[in-house]
Amino acid sequence: QVQLVESGGGLVKPGGSLRLSCAASGFTFSDYYMSWIRQAPGKGLEWVSYISSSSSYTNYADSVKGRFTISRDNAKNSLYLQMNSLRAEDTAVYYCARWIPDTRVDYWGQGTLVTVSS
C-alpha cells in the first residue's frame, strides 16, 4: 500500500533553516509528481510546492517562493523541502503528498510539525 512518511520537523528560530524529508513506498515513486501542502494550526490547507516526476518542473506558492526549494531523489524514493529564512507564519504541519497533475492529491503522509518561534 502507498505510504508517505515525513520527518525533519521541529522548532526553529525566525530566519533559520530546516530540511523536511518524505520517504515513499508502495508505488513507483519515479512515475509520480509529488507535492508539499501545509496546514497552519487551526487553519485550512495551503499548497506549498510541487515537483514533476523527473524533477524537470517545480513550482511554488508566492508565500514561499525564493525561500523554499523542493527536490527529490528517485533512487532513494525520497522527497525533500529545504526551507530557509523561516518566518512565524511558516508554522504549520507540512504534508508530503502524491499529486496527479491537475486532478487530485490521492495520498497524503501523516505530516510533520514545523514551529518557527524565538
Binding site for other proteins (CB under 8 A): 35, 44-47, 50, 59, 61-62, 95, 99-111
CB of 7 to other proteins, least distance (A): 15
CB of 21 to other proteins, least distance (A): 17
| DSSP line for 29-86 | GGGSEEEEEEE-TTS-EEEEEEE-TTS--EEE-TTTTTTEEEEEETTTTEEEEEE-S-
CB of 15 to other proteins, least distance (A): 26
Residue (70 or 111) nearer to other proteins, CB: 111
Residue (111 or 116) nearer to other proteins, CB: 111
Using CA of residue 49, residue 90, residue 42, residue 111, what is the dihedral sign? Answer: positive
